[in-house]
């Protein structure tokens, strides 16, 4: 099973809530743990809504 990295997902967000700094807009989760851990703890299944962010191009135009 491949490890999910929430920071590379389009739904990942950082909240302003100090006690719950991590969030997922797809699941509506705010937590002290990364969202993929909350999803797995609640369902026993890895996150099914992971959507990778678009690749960033280096500055300067050409790669």
Query: Where do the domains of the chain lie?
Result: 6-43
Q: pLDDT digits over 6-60, tens only?
A: 999 999 999 999 999 999 999 999 999 999 999 999 999 999 999 999 888 888 7
**pTM for this predicted structure:** 0.79
- DSSP secondary structure, 1-63, as one string: -PPP-GGGBTTEEE-S-TT--EEETTTTEEESS-HHHHHHHHHSS--S---BPPPPPPTTS--
Residue position matching structure tokens 């705010």: 30
Q: How far is CA 58 from CA 13, 41, 51, 54, in A?
A: 23, 37, 21, 13
pLDDT at 62: 64
From the list 30, 7, 11, the residue with the least C-alpha distance to 19 is 30
pLDDT at 61: 64
């Amino acid at each position: 099973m491949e490890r999910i990295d929430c920071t590379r997902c389009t739904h990942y967000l950082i909240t302003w809530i100090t006690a719950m700094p991590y969030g997922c807009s797809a699941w509506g989760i705010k937590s002290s743990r990364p969202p993929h851990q909350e999803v797995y703890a609640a369902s026993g299944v890895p996150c099914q809504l992971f959507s990778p962010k678009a690749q960033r191009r280096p500055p300067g135009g050409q790669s």
